[in-house]
């Protein structure tokens, strides 16, 4: 209900920009010499901060802020301090397109960004690429598996890989009758096709496949249909209110059935809504969710976590993101862009973009670095660097995708997320279409 015509949303973001005197040039043609920059460099977190996927934005911003902190603490990039801005896409292409245009045209010294998410990627990636702005998308869409956009990078695995990981986990747990219960939003639906095919290839059976209209007051009829199909596991992703109503009505009518969710279902709003609806202990006994695997340890993670926990004034409850693989890779993305600027000796995206793949994945003979400071010192010493990030090593394929293993995590009544299983990247690759 709070959505006004995309009109006002654009105005939203326009206003701040208009106050700025200087703008990053929206020009389409890179010139032969890098632009010169004065003042603070800006990275954007371009993601939903409101709407059904409002949890995505804060998760992403929580990665940028500690990254900017470590960069600034090390003296900045080429003499510039860096900062983060949040750009709200509202999880809706009609809002995200004007938000992207405004961001590109009016954000002072905008040199890179995290995002967009699945909700708005297909509509906005072409615009951002045309503006020569490096983007580290958290979009899960398979459409970007073979992206040819020069400025597009992805450190997180596609949604359909998450679907495969869910299927493998469920099958290994002995479940054979799966029910797919996904919201009708773009993000949720991305998981479904490969989940279904992978579970069937493994030898399981999908007994019911439901697409939920979001935020209804009753899902009892859907739940009855689900129960009638006698599944032994439910695969789900929907917005918090929808899953909370659905699962609580399942509990009333039948009792809980084990649930395997996705990364959005371990976000605080989802956990809050669903544990409130069905009880913490019930949730903890019946819940697992697939998310990109990150060890959440090691020297790079230590640097990340220290900076994150010290960012309490800008990141509310920073410890909630300590082990979040998306936040970790959002942090890594900023560090990688900053290191690429050092290699290119300019923050001009048209020039440093080509250096982004060169700061990672250099195994033989390269100096392994775990922070911006280490990287800066190594580059100053003339060494080839290999940044191993908070989210683990990065290895881009030819389409600038870097994906790895998945882990399945549970939920404990004390609020922690114990690891239940790890699904390897090669197992996932075998079952992907």
**Residue with smaller CB distance to other proteins, 194 or 248:** 248
Per CB under 8 A, the list member of 40, 72, 209, 251 interacting with other proteins is 251
Q: Which pairing describes strands 419-423 and 385-389: parallel, antiparallel, or unpaired?
A: unpaired
Give dist(CA 209, CA 201) in Å, integer.
16
Tell me which residues in 84-103 interact with other proteins (CB under 8 A).
Answer: 86, 88, 90, 92-98, 101-102
Per CB under 8 A, the segment of 76-84, 244-252, 327-335, 375-383 that binds other proteins is: 244-252
Dihedral of CA atoms 128, 131, 134, 139 in degrees, nearest 10, equals 10
Please report how close the Cβ of residue 204 comes to other proteins at its closest, in angstroms.
24
Nearer to other proteins, 200 or 228 (CB): 228
Min CB(313)–other proteins separation in Å:
14
Q: Helix, strand or coil for residue 116?
A: coil
Query: Which parts of 158-217 interact with other proteins (CB under 8 A)?
Result: 184-186, 210-217
Residue 288: beta bridge partners?
260
Is residue 38 a contact residue for other proteins (CB under 8 A)?
Answer: no
Least separation, in Å, of the C-beta of 167 and other proteins?
A: 23
Task: Considering only residues 292 through 321, tell me which ones interact with other proteins, judged by CB under 8 A.
Answer: none
Options 147, 249, 323, 386; binder of other proteins; rule CB under 8 A = 249
Residues in the chain: 433
Q: Which is nearer to other proteins, 207 or 420 (CB)?
A: 207
3-state helix, strand, coil in the chain (%, to 5): 45, 20, 40
Q: Which two tokens stand for residue 413?
A: 């009544």
**Which segment (74-82, 196-204, 240-248, 336-344) binds other proteins by CB under 8 A?**
240-248
Which residues within the stretch 10-29 sit at the binding site for other proteins (CB under 8 A)?
10-12, 14-23, 25-28
Q: Are 402 and 383 in contact (CB under 8 A)?
A: no
Q: Which of residues 267-286 bind other proteins (CB under 8 A)?
A: 269, 272-273, 276-278
> Of 296, 389, 281, 268, which Cα lies nearest the Cα of 338?
389
How far apart are CB 226 and other proteins at their closest, in Å?
A: 11
How far, CA to CA in Å, does 93 sit from each of 3, 14, 100, 293?
13, 17, 10, 29
User: Least distance in Å: CB of 93 to other proteins?
Assistant: 4
Token pair listed for 40: 């603070």
Omega within 30 of 0 (cis) for the link into 392: no
What distance in Å separates the CA atoms of residue 263 and residue 136, rounded to the nearest whole number? 18
- How many residues touch other proteins under the rule CB under 8 A: the total is 86
* 110 in Cβ contact with 84 (< 8 Å): no
| Residue 116 binds other proteins (CB under 8 A) | no
Task: List the x/- string, 337-366, binding to other proteins by CB under 8 A.
Answer: ------------------------------
Q: Which of 81, 148, 218, 416 binds other proteins (CB under 8 A)?
A: 218
Residue 214 contacts residue 197 (beta carbons within 8 Å): no
* Binding to other proteins, residues 374-403 (CB under 8 A): none
């Amino acid at each position: 209900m709070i959505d006004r015509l995309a009109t006002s949303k654009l105005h939203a973001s326009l206003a701040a920009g208009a106050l700025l005197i200087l703008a990053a040039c929206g020009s389409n043609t890179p010139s032969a010499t890098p632009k010169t920059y004065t003042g603070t460099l800006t990275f954007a977190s371009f993601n939903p901060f409101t709407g059904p996927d409002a949890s995505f934005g804060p998760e992403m911003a929580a990665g940028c802020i500690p990254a900017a902190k470590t960069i600034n603490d090390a003296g900045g990039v080429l003499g510039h301090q860096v900062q983060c801005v949040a750009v709200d896409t509202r999880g809706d292409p009609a809002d995200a397109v004007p938000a992207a245009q405004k961001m590109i045209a009016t954000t002072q010294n905008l040199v890179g960004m995290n995002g967009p998410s699945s909700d708005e990627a297909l509509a906005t990636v072409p615009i951002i690429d045309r503006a020569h702005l490096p983007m580290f998308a958290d979009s899960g869409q398979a459409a970007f598996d073979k992206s040819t956009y020069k400025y597009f990078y992805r450190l997180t695995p596609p949604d359909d890989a998450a679907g495969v990981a869910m299927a493998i986990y469920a099958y290994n747990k002995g479940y054979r009758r799966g029910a797919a219960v996904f919201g009708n939003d773009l993000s949720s639906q991305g998981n479904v096709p490969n989940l279904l095919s992978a579970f069937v290839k493994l030898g399981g059976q999908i007994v019911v496949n439901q697409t939920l209209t979001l935020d209804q007051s009753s899902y009892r009829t859907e739940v009855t249909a689900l129960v009638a199909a006698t599944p032994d596991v439910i695969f789900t992703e929907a917005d918090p209110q929808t899953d909370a109503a659905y699962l609580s009505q399942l509990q009333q009518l039948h009792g809980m059935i084990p649930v395997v969710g996705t990364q959005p279902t371990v976000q605080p709003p989802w956990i809050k809504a669903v544990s409130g609806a069905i009880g913490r202990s019930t949730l903890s006994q019946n819940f697992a969710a697939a998310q990109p695997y990150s060890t959440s340890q090691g020297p790079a993670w230590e640097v990340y976590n220290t900076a994150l926990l010290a960012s309490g004034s800008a990141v509310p409850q920073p410890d909630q993101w300590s082990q979040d693989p998306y936040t970790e890779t959002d942090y890594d993305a900023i560090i990688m862009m900053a290191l690429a600027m050092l290699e290119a000796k300019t923050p001009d995206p048209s020039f440093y973009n080509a250096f982004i793949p060169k700061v990672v994945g250099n195994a033989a003979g390269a100096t392994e670095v775990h922070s911006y400071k280490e990287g800066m010192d190594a580059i100053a010493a003339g060494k080839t660097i290999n940044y191993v990030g908070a989210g683990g090593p990065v290895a881009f394929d030819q389409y600038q995708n870097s994906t790895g293993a998945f882990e399945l995590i549970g939920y404990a009544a004390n609020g922690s997320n114990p690891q239940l299983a790890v699904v390897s990247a090669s197992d996932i690759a075998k079952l992907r279409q």
